[in-house]
Amino acid sequence: MFAEVAFPISNFKTFTYQIPEKLIAETHVGSRVLAPFRRQQKEGIIVNILTSSSFKGETKLINKLIDNYQIVTPELWELINWISNYYMTPLGQVAKTVFPKNLSTRYKPQKLWFVESRIDINPLQFEKLKKRAPKQYEVLKLVTTESRPLQVSLLKNFASNPLQICKSLEQDKLVKLFEKEVKPNSDHFSFSPIKKKITLDRSQEEVANLIKISLDSNIYNPYLLHGVTGSGKTEIYIESVKYCLGKGKTSIILLPEISLTPQIAGRFRSVFGDRVALWHSKLNQQQRSWTWKEICKGTFKVVIGARSAIFSPLKDLGLVVIDEEQEASFRQDSPSPRYHARDVALMRARLSKAVIILASATPSLESYYNRQKNKLKYLHLPNRFGGAKQPKVHLVDMLKEQEETGKFGQVISGFLQNKIEERLNSNEQVILLQNRRGFSPTIKCGDCGEIAMCPNCNVTFSYHRKTNNLLCHFCGFSRLNEKQSCTECGSKSLLYFGAGTQKVQALLEETFPEASIERLDMDTTTSGINITKILAAFNNGEIDILLGTQMIAKGLDFPNATLVGIINADQGLYLPDFRSGERVFQLIYQASGRSGRHQKPGEVVIQTYSPDNPVIRCAAELDMDKYYEIALREREELDYPPFSWLSKIEIADKNYKRVSKLASTISRKIIGGYSGLEILGPAPCYIEKLRGYYRFQIIFKSQKVIDPNGKKLHSFIKTNFHGFNKNYSNSQSRISIHFDPLSLI
């Protein structure tokens, strides 16, 4: 027997291997194998099994199977093939994404030493030990006070080598020493189980009943659940999952931000206990390995996590929920496959005959449009849960504020400052959004005018005061601001423009010295544990003011948060991207929804320099329908999604002339255009240089009236760019294909 094996390489070629006789019975299409490849042992996936081989040369043997039982369901294998075909990515690379490296069903949890005392210890033995071996005495004394076996490694505070001490005590028959497997603990990524007695209101019951009817039908059903902020969408998820589990089916809940995981995980674990698994990038290797193995075994029935959770190897999938489905973080732009988890989830649900719920208070324009065209069934929660009212919104014109106060470059307006003080005096909590981290986003020399730029990217450095370094938020390159002088002229007259979360925090600490203030952004959340710690402290009322980036703007529910302040609502508004207005509107609307979600009334203060901009105006009025109709008209006029299919070819090289020439060459060789196809470029990307590479792009827009399902554009891209590395690329250049890109920047 022979197997065609795909490896995670950049071409679509497969390689033929012989299956050892002892492995034939366990080998299937979709099995992961270790096989010799280019003088090394490499992990691949079997894409076909043959009874004979046409290969004339020596056929090498597969070394071993990675897993000890089959992990790929027929639906998951179909999904892998669909991703490979749709995103034009070799099967081996797709498999590497679906089944990450170093995960195997053969994983065994770490074994740890435990110690427990014997019941029949003579008091005289204690006294003798105290004189003869004081360290052993201290350890034995502690062990005897514990009702359960004690992990030996926890005794390091009492002795530098506690295992050796315990072994000595065991020889004297004073303790019992043993090893046992310990599953990795991920409880610190979740709030303690949050038990709530919930009675669904009328609109929630109607929505839940429609979902239950769909789950009974066992057919693919896609829904758009549009619920205003605080309408109780999480309760719908829980009710739906409960019903799904009752039918013997499993569920996946996708979240856009890791910061949303602790709170929703606490809610789910209070209802479903140990049947819930968490899956995101903050898990360490042991936690990931154990969790993945238990998912494969069927221990977990519900998986909650970020975009890669859509590949969870659950069997009998019945329900998929995508919370905050509009979020750009569901898109993976690098490495291949460059997929959108929402679209992959829709396909997985279709293949599994499952119900899928796209949920949001501010759906993406595509989902909103698809609901209008009846491609998604519409579920609506129009009111906040429990009778809570929408917050009162105040729009602060920062230009007027400057004229009236004479203070230019003010970060926190007098109006917002007064509102914060009111809340602190009332023992209520405040959430402040500043969607830019660091201290200052621009550093300029006051003498020569030089602006500090990242050498790898065509962007300015951001100054981070805590570490006193200049940091690029795109490539991560940093430089110590040790001399605090201009690199061009040596002047000490450096000017720091703009405000990031660090500057806002410094101003808040100066203005409200008695308040407890915490910051939640990429700099303070390098570990998932810290995210949980900060959010739990705010939830428990230990923090007065929570300041953060977009991480705090959506999905979170804090009963005592009654004021939301948006420091700079214009952030990102004028970027030259067709989605910039949509993103700003959604961020402001979602952030506003964190205020007054329970019985206490809420307020929102939006600071802006563009109070008459329709994006800002509609967001301040919390009028989603009005803004979306404006945005859809603009998109239709310019022929952008959802009225067209979009694809982007990005060409990158460290040499500008070479990338420019290659982009022109590719453009000239494009063949087979059709009516309804518009080709833009080649042209430099808005951020022309990124991570050391100069970038050009060619944009393809295919009108939906001519190409309703996108097949024409897909066929066109395949004709021109399948095997593009072989035809165009060289060792210095990179070419990538982006289907349905979220950004043209």
Helix (H) / strand (E) element for 227: namely strand 221-227
111-117 and 150-151 strand pairing: antiparallel
DSSP bridge pairs for 37: 40
Which string of DSSP letters, residue by residue, matches 248-291? T-EEEEE-S-GGGHHHHHHHHHHHHGGGEEEESTTS-HHHHHHH
| pLDDT the model gives residue 257 | 85
| pLDDT the model gives residue 728 | 67
User: Is the bond preceding residue 642 a cis peptide, omega within 30 degrees?
Assistant: yes
Q: Which of 52, 43, 58 is nearest to 5 (CA)?
A: 43
Residue 726 class from Cβ within 10 Å (0-12 exposed, 13-18 middle, 19+ buried)? exposed
- Could you count the other beta carbons within 10 Å of the beta carbon of residue 458? 16
Q: Report how far residue 551's alpha carbon sits from residue 359's, in angstroms, rounded to the nearest whole number.
A: 18
| pLDDT the model gives residue 9 | 87
Q: Report how far residue 479's alpha carbon sits from residue 489's, in angstroms, rounded to the nearest whole number.
A: 17
Token reading at 630: 């404006």
- Could you count the other beta carbons within 10 Å of the beta carbon of residue 116? 16
Rg (CA), the chain: 29
Residues in the chain: 745
Q: What is the pTM of this model?
A: 0.91
Q: Report how far residue 86's alpha carbon sits from residue 81's, in angstroms, rounded to the nearest whole number.
A: 9
Give residue 248's region: left, alpha or beta (phi > 0; psi -120 to 50).
left
List Cβ neighbours of 345 (8 Å cut-off, separation of 6 or more): 252, 254, 310, 320, 322, 356
Helix and strand numbers, DSSP H then E, in the chain: 21, 30
- Measured in whole angstroms, how far is the alpha carbon of residue 297 from the centre of its chain? 25
Q: How does pLDDT run across 24-55, given as a tens digit for each residue?
A: 999 999 999 999 998 899 999 999 999 888 77
Token reading at 21: 């006789």
| pLDDT the model gives residue 644 | 97
Residue type, 340: H
Q: Which of 615, 614, 605 is nearest to 401 (CA)?
A: 605
Helix (H) / strand (E) element for 44: namely strand 40-50
User: Is the bond preceding residue 134 a cis peptide, omega within 30 degrees?
Assistant: no
Residue type, 38: R
Which string of DSSP letters, residue by residue, matches 542-572? --SEEEESGGGSSS---TTEEEEEES-TTTT
Which string of DSSP letters, residue by residue, matches 462-519? EEETTTTEEE-TTT--EEE-SS-S-TTT--S-EEEES--HHHHHHHHHHH-TTS-EEE
List Cβ neighbours of 677 (8 Å cut-off, separation of 6 or more): 700, 701, 702, 703, 707, 712, 713, 716
pLDDT < 50 positions in the chain: none
Helix (H) / strand (E) element for 394: namely strand 392-397
How many angstroms separate the Cα of 633 from the Cα of each of 30, 365, 506, 637, 677?
46, 11, 43, 6, 20
